[in-house]
Amino acid sequence: MAGRRVGWQPRTWLPGHDPSPGDPVLMSSLADVLALPAGDNTMRHIAGGGWVLLCLAVLVVGRGCSPHSPADNDGSGDGSEDPFDSYVPDPEVYCAPPDPDRMIQQTLSDGRTVEFAVNQILLLMEEGTQRAVVEQLAAELGGTIVGQVPDIDFYQIEVPATTQAELEALIDQAEANPGVASAGYNRVAQFNQTCPAENDNRDIVAEDQCAFAETEYYQAVTMFDFFREHLTLHRVRVGIVDTGLDPSTNEFDEVDILYLNDFAGPPEDLHDRRHGTAVASIIAADNDMCSINGIASRLVGDNLRLIVGRASDDASFIVYTTMAAAAGADIINMSFGWQESDPYFEIMWDTWLRLMGRRSTVLFVCSAGNESLELTGFNYAPGGIGLANVLTVAATAECNPTELSVMSNHGGAVDIAAPGENVPAVAPDGSYDGRFGTSFSAPMVASLAAILKSISPTLTPAHIKHQITAYGYPLADDSPFGRLVFTTSIQELLLEMGVGDPIRSWIDPLGLGNAGASGMVLSRVCPPGMSYSIDGYGSHAIQAVDRTQGGVIGSPAMPPAFYFNADDGDVFLEIGSAGMSQFALGSFIFLEDPAGASDVAAARFQEHGSVDFGPAIAGTVTFDTCRIDERDPWQAKNPMIVYVTGAFEGMLTAYHWDGRLPSVHGFDGNFNMPFVVSSSAGEEVFEYLENNCEGGIPTPPTEP
């Protein structure tokens, strides 16, 4: 390593937050290795990959990063046995899984679909009911007990019903028994109806969520939870060469980790701000309802493997990157770098070029650096080196994703930008804090690379790089590169793979060959709907994606302020407001204006069969919730599609074309559907949506 500057530190960390000049334990270990006699070829040609014996000697596999030793199974520190290992199931507690061939579905009035076993009933008996009583009841129903939890008097009965009507008749019969507290279907859990899906990152306060909101991470989580059961995900290995990984956070217990240099004791992160731990957390932190969850670990789950190398100097960064590649890493995150003004920069540039070039099966995701330099491909390393398997990541500004951060390096040698200011990551105390720098932009991109590789394991590094860069959203002005977005890259890869239904019908229902807008894809996986009843005209539920339904959020200056409708082919109903100052959550009264003025709310319906028509004469509409599902991809700051839920009721006058006198009818209903936000809605509308809808980026309060 001739020419290495003593005491060098990686330049990607923020000023004031650089690591210590070196890990003494690691430094001494490397010194011992590098001082081997000339005739010993254990470490010969490190950059070319000619080492073997050292790696075999130091590789240690760990499950998570638990602070206790493997022998201490319960974490108590005394080596006692984990209760998990001694657990014996209670034979009195059991159940029978529903037969997949005996499942039926039912669409509820709110648009949700439930699935249940047509031949099973669940019973909750009155407390203290003897099992013999339940056996007798089961026999009266023509069935048998197939499941029970005796201490709560809960039973599962299999019955001979073959239709929903037969099953409901048996439930009624059971409820007539005085010993039954309640009875019902055995429904399949509706986990995939949670829209959007829950994850740790949703607990981050709203003003800190920009990094996830503007990359459409939350939308990707919701989509992927629907996609998952229709995909075969594959193991993907991500290397992280950095300052180490802090075990005391307990945020990596659910991921398999290969520690490359765990020969000097437990893995440590000696950086004062736990730089490596923060980088790793963005990729792989546990989804355990605290702090944050990793982006890749949340989507690919148990298929993720980490390969961690703790480095602190020129040689160790090169050595442990080499080792990570040899250990099978598909992707290596490299949140460090050297610039041209560093002494002996040439050897670093040449070494990284050779190292990465000879490991063409690995995708190296490199931070671009924080020096505000224009990267030419020759003045920074490893980021900016123009290889097909190198992806260089710049940083965008906080809550302003179309603009680069002022500290970020830039230029034609950059491939993609990702959030790099106030990026939430695991803090030293196990909570989270905001991190700044391209160090924290790179792991967001590495996470997407891991997700794509898990979906399609045959992807080459060049293909992954293309998939990320080609389907990003644009930056401002004439930037030669775009910015990270999760949804489009994933969707386009699935289409390219020839994925079948239902995923294809969600992404590309018209068969156009390209992915639809993320907000509309979400409205298909979380099916929109509108159900309503009109006295004398029946009940109507509209959910199919090929039926007319939808809404608009407009501007006070360009009414209507809101408008939505649905059409089931027989009855058409629409509700809109021109008089409402602007869209807002809550309940609002609408009245027909006898003078026909346009500044009041109105509702109307039309029955296609008789062409009856009626405007509303009185009513209310309530907007319960709203969720921003998509933003303008070019401007990146304005909501474009907002998913809204709510209800309405009122009275309308029906005019009959067959000569009958007008008649008055009550109506009521509810809705959950995407509303398109008018591009001319105005700043006050956009600001309201950001401050009040889930997924918004609230406007910070102004200083007094």
Q: Do the Cβ atoms of 369 and 438 come closer than 8 Å?
A: yes
More confident residue, 619 or 489: 489
Q: What is the C-alpha to C-alpha distance for residues 479 and 467, in angstroms, rounded to an integer?
A: 18
| Parallel/antiparallel/unpaired status of strands 529-534 and 663-677 | antiparallel
Cα separation values, 156 from 122, 128, 223, Å: 5, 17, 34
Task: Give the separation between CA 637 and CA 686, rounded to whole angstroms.
Answer: 9
Query: Is 200-507 the same fold as 100-187?
Result: no
Number of Cβ within 10 Å of residue 30's Cβ equals 22
Rounded Cα distance, 622 and 601, in Å? 13
Model confidence at 201, pLDDT cuts 50, 70, 90, reads: low
Give domain 100-187's CATH architecture: 2-Layer Sandwich (3.30)
Position 81 scores a pLDDT of 41
**pLDDT tens readout for residues 134-171:** 999 999 999 998 877 677 777 888 899 999 999 999 99
Element (H, E) at 654: strand 639-654
Pairing of strands 663-677, 548-555: parallel
**Core vs surface per residue 629-650: b (16+ CB within 10 A) or e:** bbbbbeebebbbbbbbbbbbbb
323-366 pLDDT, tens digit per residue, is 888 888 999 999 998 888 876 788 888 889 988 998 999 999 99
Q: When comparing pLDDT for 496 and 651, which is higher?
A: 496
Phi and psi for 474 in degrees, rounded to 5? -75, 155
Whether the pLDDT of residue 68 is over 60: the answer is: no
Pick the residue with more confidence: 352 or 29?
Answer: 352
Is residue 580 within 8 Å of 601, Cβ to Cβ?
Answer: yes
Residues 6+ apart with CB under 8 A from 704: none
* pLDDT tens-place string over residues 501-542: 999 988 988 888 888 788 888 877 877 778 888 888 878 777
Q: Which residue has the tokens 């009626």?
A: 614
pLDDT at 67 over 50: no
State pLDDT tens for residues 358-389.
899 999 999 999 989 999 999 999 999 999 99
Secondary structure, 3-state, 89-147: CCCCCECCCCCHHHEEEEECCCCCEEEEEEEEEEEEECCCCCHHHHHHHHHHCCCEEEE
Does residue 576 surpass a pLDDT of 90?
Answer: no
* Cα–Cα–Cα angle for 493, 631, 508, rounded to 5 degrees: 35
Q: Confidence class of residue 601 from pLDDT cuts 50, 70 and 90? A: low
CA distances from 580 to 274, 471, 551, 584, 616 (A): 51, 39, 15, 9, 16
DSSP 193: G
Sketch the domain layout of the chain as residue ranges: 100-187, 200-507, 527-692
DSSP 203: G
Question: Residue 561: pLDDT band by 50, 70, 90 thresholds?
Answer: confident
Q: Is the pLDDT of residue 245 over 50?
A: yes
Place of tokens 């610039």: 339
* Span 429-453, average pLDDT: 93
CATH of domain 200-507: 3.40.50.200
How far from 661 is each of 339, 617, 651, 653, CA to CA, in Å? 84, 16, 16, 10
pTM higher than the cut 0.85: no
Residue 556 has pLDDT above 70, yes or no: no
